Amino acid sequence: MPNLPKVPLESWISDGVNWLTTHLSGLFNLMQRSGQSIMDGLTNGLTAIPTPLMIAGLTVIAILTTPKKYGFPLFTLIGLALIANQNLWSDLMSTVTLVIMASVISLVIGIPLGIITAKSPKTAAIVKPILDFMQTMPGFVYLIPAVAFFGIGVVPGVFASIIFALPPMVRMTDLGIRQVPVALVEAADSFGSTTWQKLIKLELPNARNTILAGVNQTIMLALSMVVTASMIGAPGLGRGVLSAVQRADVGSGFVNGLGLVILAIIIDRFTQKLNTKPGQKVATRPWRRWAILATALIMIGGGVVNAVTSQKSSGQKVNLGYVSWDSEVASTNVLAESLRQHGYDVTMTPLDNAVLWQSLANGQVDASVSAWLPYTHKALYDRYKNDISLLGPNLHGAKTGFVVPDYMKVNSIADLTNEANKTVTGIEPGAGEMITAQKTLDSYSNLKGWNLLSASSGAMATALDKAYKTKQDIVVTGWSPHWMFSKYKLKYLQDPKGTMGKNESINTITRKDLKKDNPKFEKVMDKFNWTKEDMESVMLDIQNGAKPKQAATKWLKSHQKLADSWYK
Amino acid sequence: MAKVEIKHLTKIFGKRPKAALKMVKQHKSKDEIVEKTGSTVGVYDINMSIDEGEIFVIMGLSGSGKSTLIRLLNRLIEPTQGQLFIDGEEITKFNKKQMLEIRRQKMSMVFQNFGLFPHRTLLENTEYGLEIQGVNKEERRKRAEHALDNAKLLSYKDQYPSQLSGGMQQRVGLARALTNDPDILLMDEAFSALDPLVRGEMQDELLELQANVQKTIIFITHDLNEALHIGDHIAIMKDGELQQIGTGEEILTHPANEYVKSFIGGVDRSKVLTAESIMIPALTTNIDVDGPTVALRKMADEEVSGLVAVNRKREMLGYLSSDEAAKARRNQTPLSQAVVQMPTVDLDTLVADIMPIIYDAQTPVAVVDANKHARGVIIRGSVLEALADTEGDETDA
């Protein structure tokens, strides 16, 4: 449509969210703080229960609720034991907390709302389109305002999950109440029931199964949002899946995903057990109920005992943010392990790059060692430079650029014509390098018609590996230090215009008032530095199958002197 | 003073009741009104008064507005116009709270499909009315159990409705309505969903109950026989308007208009009706196969005193009475000797022509088709009915 100016929808929405963020910040902070403490309490409570006791308890409950059938209890036992065996127990508990919280809040909001929409056609006419909107909008979109309102962590994850999981609860409640036969409603009316009596004595009991089906769906949807929510720092199994996607690590992704599947099946079966047909005597003998209650109490008791007797790590809490690029996984793990050896209680939060800078700016993350300056993260630095402290480089000689296998003839960006289907294979769309890469495509005339493909750093590495093995052309957005340079023969393309940045350094950034709050830790962050070779050795270890934690510990053992120098 | 008094009660469904009302006054048809205004006339200008302790039956075909009318009485449906008095109080003026009281104290309702709550046991269903009034548990249990005991269902009190037959469920519905001890019982086609046998039983039970408790019962049905059987007064409705009110006798002998006449079948049947339309199904015994004991048992089951005897080819042979069959059993003789001749008529014989035959016959008259197969029998009662109708017409003329 020519001659019509574009409607500034984007800026309207941004302005609206900004207005909310500034004017309701008190409320949001309160919600964030109270939510965070409730969830932390819940997670701590769940993890305090010794794993074997919890597995046994849940298996016993499964046996009690499914008499004479052994499939489900056996599945519960084996599935949970497998999760524990893969060291995913604490992740599982974080996920359970998130799901419980999101589901409970969805129920508390959804059931009354469903009752209101069933009773009032006007409300239904307003609410139903909103529900449609909520359910079809991609879950990712909710993460953006969630971060703006609540920062990072589990609270925005719950917020996004609720928006996503609430609609079926409202719909099914509404449906259940509308489905109560007219004859029964008339009968209740003819005896002079008040609206309230009708609801409590007739409609809700009859709608019960439909409502429970809604509960089941809500829980499943909340569970499906776990992975998405982990992009903004929600802990749990989702994080494992997400970082596996970013590093193209099939095995770890599958194992984390399997954990989610097992959890989903167990929750699904347990919620389905609550369904009963009306007009049937529920054949639960009282002793079964008592036994279930007793089992739950034993589990909780075990948790309490465990919480009292176990030593809480009394170290200082610090929160390191990072992006799941291989380079940052290496550096952040090394730093975190080293800090732990010095008695700090370290939380590592993997985030999307833009979200990481934002969280540093609003003080939710203490520090990060993954700022590529002055070129790659220039845009983000310019945006947040007033709200963070830049402590300077921790690694020199980093470089970003277009990278090709050395069997390709081309040597300079200016010489590219139509290689590799005119495609540059990139990484996460929010990464700084992607911004510079796009700028490069725009400023070289020979790159007209080239595409920049966004994916993830892991997917990029996989694509490179595939092309390399079949000797095909490929152009990727590469950076050093990176293990791929030790694994393949690669070269940087010359960059006569310098749009991809010259040599850069990786820098340490912290939140604005860290120096005031925690000078000792700030000093460590300031001193932290190592070399490109150090980093690449750690990266290669991880690439060859070591866990990041193991690789970090190994490096620290052999570089004790350097590591000690950070604390002087 | 009448227990229930209805004055000019009207209900129009839809969005433009005023326009529809205008058209009703001009005697436009229902279809035309829907066409023009999109509104449906539920009931129009109903006037009637119902005395204490009578069974007042409202009849009509489906769509005649009878179910709407009964729901207007306890205001499950709000009337568009008109007044409704119960014990002299105008309840059309009552607010919501007063209306709740009326429903709790004075009126109870029984529904065509029982309207039992599937998630509650019989006892919980029966005590529902008292429960919502806040009666304490022991008291309401006692009264509910008493009502169930009267309905001979006390031993089932902890069962759920889905575990019972239709007749039992409806007895629970009735017990539930009676537990409140209402003055007025509204019954909306209460027995229509039951099979004919159970239906007859329930009608008798209702009459017996009425003899004991003396409630005002407003009973809706589309079945003339049911109305004649239980009604003290009968009102006939068509398209939302009242056609006639009277006792069963009055309606049968002096139908107010053509519609009522056709409704009660009040035309000179003997000149138009054929044997086929007044015959009852023939109950047969195949005497090539059945023995006297089987035949007697059939009679006992069907509550008749004779059967039409047929052979293997289903051809009509004659009449087998219970006396003859019993004789044959005593004397060990085959049934074929016990069969007596019976008069036959064709399917399209007129009733008027059947009358002389039936007066002379010792047995029912068999109606046979061209293949000599018995299609039905005509008994004296059916002809008497036809006769009564014609006599009624003559007194009219």
Residue B268's pLDDT is what? 46
Closest-CA residue to B128 (of B103, B155, B153, B92): B103
Confidence label for A487 from pLDDT (cuts 50, 70 and 90): confident
Q: Look-up: residue for tokens 């209740």?
A: A188
Q: Is the pLDDT of residue B149 over 50?
A: yes
Contacts with A, B 64-83, CB within 8 Å: 71, 74, 76
Interface test with B, best of A191, A196, A198 (most B CBs within 10 A): A191
**CB–CB of A150/A31 below 8 Å?**
yes
Q: Report the alpha-carbon distance of residue A525 to residue B332 in Å, rounded.
A: 118
Distance of CA A302 to the CA centre of its chain: 30
The predicted structure's pLDDT at residue B397: 30
Chain B residue numbers touching A186 (CB-CB < 8 A): 71, 76, 109, 111, 115
Is B235 within 8 Å of B251 (Cβ atoms)?
Answer: no
Mean pLDDT, range A383-404, rounded to an integer: 88
Q: Which of B28-32, B215-219, B243-247, B353-357 has the lowest mean pLDDT?
A: B353-357
Q: What value does the mean pLDDT take over residues A442-471?
A: 88
Residue A340 tokens read as 């732990």
pLDDT digits (tens, 9 = 90+) for A13-64: 888 888 888 888 888 888 888 888 888 888 888 888 888 888 998 898 888 8
Residues B314-328: what's their mean pLDDT?
85
Cis bond upstream, residue A374 (ω within 30): yes
Q: How far apart are the C-alpha atoms of A335 and A391, rounded to whole Å?
A: 15
User: A412 with A496: CB under 8 angstroms?
Assistant: yes
Determine which of A141-155, A305-319, B50-64, B74-88 has the lowest per-residue pLDDT on average.
A305-319
Alpha carbon of B127 to those of B133, B169, B177: distances in Å?
A: 10, 15, 9
Out of B118, B133, B163, whose CB is closest to A278?
B118
User: What phi and psi, each to the nearest 5 degrees, are found at residue A566?
Assistant: -65, -20
DSSP summary character for residue B340: B
What pLDDT shows up at residue B241?
83
> What average pLDDT does chain A have?
86
Section A178-199 average pLDDT: 92
Q: How many helices (H) and strands (E) does chain A have?
A: 25, 9
User: Under an 8 A CB cutoff, do B74 and A190 touch?
Assistant: yes
Model confidence, pTM = 0.73
User: Comparing A333 with B384, which gets the higher pLDDT?
Assistant: A333
Q: Per residue in A225-262, pLDDT tens?
A: 888 888 887 888 888 888 888 777 888 889 999 999 99
Chain B residue numbers with beta carbons less than 8 Å from the beta carbon of A182 are none
Most confident range (mean pLDDT) of A233-237, A400-404, B15-19 is: A400-404
Cβ count near B212 (within 10 Å): 9
Helix (H, G, I), strand (E, B) or coil at A488: coil
More confident position, A447 or B127: B127
Number of H helices, E strands in chain B: 18, 17
Calculate how close chain A gets to B185, using CA atoms only, in Å: 11
Could you tell me which residues come within 8 angstroms of residue A300 by beta carbon, excluding any fewer than 6 positions away? Answer: A49
Distance from C-alpha of A345 to C-alpha of A340, rounded to nearest angstrom: 6
Q: What gap in Å lies between CA B354 and CA B362, rounded to an integer?
A: 14
Contacts 24+ apart (CB under 8 A), A103-106: A103/A165, A103/A215, A103/A218, A103/A219, A103/A222, A105/A158, A105/A162, A106/A162, A106/A165, A106/A166, A106/A169, A106/A218, A106/A222
- Chain A residue set in contact with B, beta carbons under 8 Å: 183-184, 186-194, 197, 201-202, 205-206, 208, 278-281
* C-alpha–C-alpha distance, residues B224 and B222, integer Å: 6
Amino acid A405: pLDDT: 92
**Least Cα separation, residue A214 to chain B (angstroms):** 20
More confident of the two residues A120 and B354: A120
Say yes or no to pLDDT of B316 above 90. Answer: no
**Helices B30-37, B17-25: crossing angle, 10 deg rounding:** 150
Q: Residue A498: exposed, middle, or buried by beta-carbon count in 10 A (0-12, 13-18, 19+)?
A: exposed
Give the minimum alpha-carbon distance from B104 to chain A in angstroms, rounded to a whole number. 5
Residue A215: band (very low, low, confident or very high) from pLDDT cuts 50, 70, 90: very high
CA–CA distance, A245 with B108 (Å, rounded to integer): 67
For residue B378, give Cα distances in angstroms to B196, B347, B375: 21, 11, 10
Q: What is the pLDDT of residue B267?
A: 41
Band of pLDDT at residue A197, cut at 50, 70 and 90: very high
Taking Cα atoms as reference points, which of A261, A257, A219, A266 lies closest to residue A75?
A266
Q: Are B45 and B8 in contact (CB under 8 A)?
A: yes
Q: Is the pLDDT of residue A170 over 90?
A: yes
What's residue A311's pLDDT? 56
Phi, psi for residue B362 in degrees, rounded to 5 = -90, -20
For tokens 């690694």, the residue is A395
A429 pLDDT exceeds 90?
no
Non-local (6+) Cβ contacts of B358 within 8 A are B343, B365, B378, B380, B383
Gap between the Cα atoms of A390 and A408, Å rounded: 39
Two tokens, residue A338: 């080293």
Residue A383: count other Cβ atoms within 10 Å of its Cβ.
Answer: 14
CA dist., res. B159 & res. B123, Å (int): 8
Q: How far is CA A544 from CA A190, A323, A405, A427, A547, in A?
A: 76, 20, 21, 21, 9
Residues of chain B with pLDDT > 70: what percent? 92
Q: What is the mean pLDDT of residues A429-444?
A: 87
Cβ contact B111–A189 (<8 Å):
no
Strands B344-346 and B365-368: parallel
Note whether B9 and B82 are within 8 A (CB): yes
For residue A201, what pLDDT band results from cuts at 50, 70 and 90? very high
Identify which of A192, A208, A279 has the shortest CB distance to residue B161: A279
Per-residue pLDDT, A198: 93
Instruction: Check if the beta carbon of residue B280 is closer than 8 Å to that of residue B377.
Output: yes
Q: What is the pLDDT of residue B385?
A: 66
Q: Is A81 in contact with A53 (CB distance < 8 Å)?
A: no
Q: Which one has a higher pLDDT value, B362 or A200? A: A200
Q: Do B104 and A191 touch (CB under 8 A)?
A: yes
> Position of tokens 């604390």?
A567
Position B390 pLDDT exceeds 50: no
pLDDT in tens, A489-530: 899 888 888 888 778 889 999 988 888 888 888 888 888 888
Residue A150 pLDDT more than 90?
A: no
HSE, side-chain direction, 13 A CA sphere, residue A281: 9
What is the residue-averaged pLDDT of chain B? 84
Q: Is B98 on the interface with A (CB under 8 A)?
A: no
E strands of chain B, at which residues?
A: 4-13, 40-50, 55-59, 81-86, 89-90, 107-110, 184-188, 216-221, 233-238, 241-246, 280-281, 284-286, 306-310, 316-321, 344-346, 365-368, 374-378
The nearest CA of chain B is from the CA of A190 a distance in Å of 6
Instruction: Identify any residues that bridge with B10 across adjacent strands, giving them in sequence order.
Output: B81
Distance from B77 to chain A by nearest Cα, in Å?
10
pLDDT confidence of residue B389: 52
Inform me whether the pLDDT recorded for B393 exceeds 50: no
Which chain B residue has the Cα nearest residue A204? Answer: B119
Nearest chain B residue (CA) to A278: B119
The alpha-carbon gap from B118 to the nearest alpha carbon of chain A, in Å, equals: 5
Choice between A155 and A170, residue whose per-residue pLDDT is larger:
A170
Query: What pLDDT is stored for residue A122 in this prediction?
Result: 92
Could you count the other beta carbons within 10 Å of the beta carbon of residue A209? Answer: 16
The answer to whether the Cβ–Cβ distance between B118 and A206 falls below 8 Å is: yes
Q: A203 and A177 in contact (C-beta within 8 Å)?
A: yes
A379, pLDDT greater than 90: no
The contacts found for A461-467 with CB under 8 angstroms, 24 or more apart, are A461/A247, A461/A248, A461/A326, A462/A248, A463/A425, A464/A405, A464/A425, A464/A488, A467/A405
Question: Does the beta-carbon distance from A279 to B162 stay under 8 Å?
Answer: yes
Q: Which residues have CB under 8 Å from A169's CB, separation 6+?
A: A106, A107, A109, A110, A111, A114, A214, A215, A217, A218
If you average pLDDT over residues B226-234, what whole number do you get? 88
What pLDDT was estimated at residue B273? 62
Residues of chain B with C-beta less than 8 angstroms from the C-beta of A194: 100, 132
**Of A134-143, A170-179, A305-314, A539-548, where does mean pLDDT reach its minimum?**
A305-314
pLDDT of residue B272: 52
Q: Which residue has the tokens 């109920």?
A: A289
Task: Give me the total of CB pairs closer than 8 Å, taking one residue from chain A and one from chain B.
Answer: 70
Chain centroid to CA B204: how far? 12
Contacts of A31 (CB under 8 A, 6+ apart): A150, A155
Q: Which of residues 115-134 of B touch A (CB under 8 A)?
A: 115-119, 128-129, 131-133
**Residues in A touching B98 (Cβ below 8 Å):** none
Q: How confident is the model at residue B15 (pLDDT cuts 50, 70, 90)?
A: confident
Tokens in use for A392?
A: 């300077």
Q: How confident is the model at residue B188 (pLDDT cuts 50, 70, 90)?
A: very high
How far is residue A358's CA from residue A152's CA, in Å, rounded to a whole number? 9
